[in-house]
């Protein structure tokens, strides 16, 4: 029989008093991925890509310019779609509005020794390991030569921008639709012979339709307690990072613990 669920206005540190996870050895019990197809834009990334391909067929100067421009628009549109898909406002996505994101970005850039010359949006996409910014930088070099130095791209370079844009769109969608673990349990125990969840535990569920993360605290007995996070909550981005990268060390930061990474151990099951 399913437990009743009580939605409450609690913080994650309060839930930890009810269900305690042994972070030196815990299990992620995967329950599948939730995703939605389609883009709520009047012009989609795939349409911009089609425009680029149509422009390339003309083989003339106007066509080459249109190829590069529309390939870049396809990537920009895809970036905004990713940001929107993950629950953020892509029209006002900046460091001032989403202060907590910069910590994730800075940590990633320091670990990987990356430069910080890109826009906030690109640095965010890179920090979540959805796509390397090298894809975008190649197209930008070609576009900058066109728009600032007025150098017409060669047919080969123009075709390359189409290929990069198409690869970027397909690769990022594959990660969000197939790699991103959107629903899972955090458990202290796991039995390969018994696939039922092991209480006490947490259930984490990212819902792209609602743009929120539901965190259910499931005790040994009694009601399940549910807390919902929005993108404005500081913990939100850490749950995204954990599920997309499958690096569940980030749950420590999501739950507000200050534990050295070397003491955190987990296994992904299911």
State pTM to two decimals.
Answer: 0.91
Kindly list the distances between the CA atom of residue 259 and the CA atoms of 81, 83, 249, 250, 253, in Å, as whole numbers in the listed order: 34, 29, 10, 11, 9
Question: What is the distance between the alpha carbons of residues 147 and 194, in angstroms, rounded to a whole number?
Answer: 61
CB 264 within 8 A of CB 252: yes
Domain coordinates in residue numbering, the chain: 5-35+181-269, 45-179
pLDDT at 7: 52
pLDDT at 6: 54
| Most confident of the following: 81-95, 124-138, 184-198 | 81-95
The one-character DSSP state at 102 is H
Q: What tokens does 249 get? A: 């060390």
Length of the chain: 270
Q: What are phi and psi of 46, to 5 degrees?
A: -65, -35
pLDDT in tens, 230-269: 999 999 999 999 999 999 999 999 998 889 989 999 999 9
Higher pLDDT, 139 or 162: 162
Q: What are phi and psi of 21, to 5 degrees?
A: -100, 140
């Amino acid at each position: 029989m399913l437990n009743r669920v009580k939605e409450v206005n609690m913080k994650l540190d309060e839930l930890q008093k009810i269900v305690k996870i042994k972070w030196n050895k815990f299990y992620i019990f995967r329950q599948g991925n939730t995703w939605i197809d389609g883009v709520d834009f009047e012009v989609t990334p795939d349409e911009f890509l089609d425009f680029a391909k149509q422009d390339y067929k003309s083989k003339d100067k106007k066509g080459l310019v249109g190829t590069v421009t529309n390939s870049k628009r396809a990537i920009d549109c895809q970036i905004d779609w990713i940001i929107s898909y993950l629950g953020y406002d892509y029209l006002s996505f900046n460091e001032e509005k989403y202060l907590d994101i910069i910590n994730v970005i800075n940590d990633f850039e320091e670990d990987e020794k990356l430069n910080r010359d890109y826009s906030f949006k690109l640095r965010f996409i890179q920090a979540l390991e959805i796509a390397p910014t090298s894809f975008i930088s190649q197209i930008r070099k070609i576009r900058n030569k066109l728009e600032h130095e007025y150098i017409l791209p060669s047919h080969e370079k123009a075709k390359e921008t189409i290929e990069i844009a198409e690869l970027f769109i397909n690769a990022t969608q594959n990660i969000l639709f197939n790699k991103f673990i959107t629903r899972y349990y955090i458990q202290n125990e796991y039995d390969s012979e018994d696939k039922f969840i092991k209480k006490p535990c947490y259930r984490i569920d990212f819902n792209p339709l609602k743009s929120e993360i539901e965190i259910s605290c499931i005790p040994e007995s009694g009601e399940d307690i549910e807390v919902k996070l929005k993108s404005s909550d500081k913990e939100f981005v850490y749950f995204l990072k954990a599920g997309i990268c499958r690096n569940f060390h980030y749950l420590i930061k999501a739950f507000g613990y200050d534990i050295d990474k070397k003491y955190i151990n987990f296994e992904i099951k299911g």
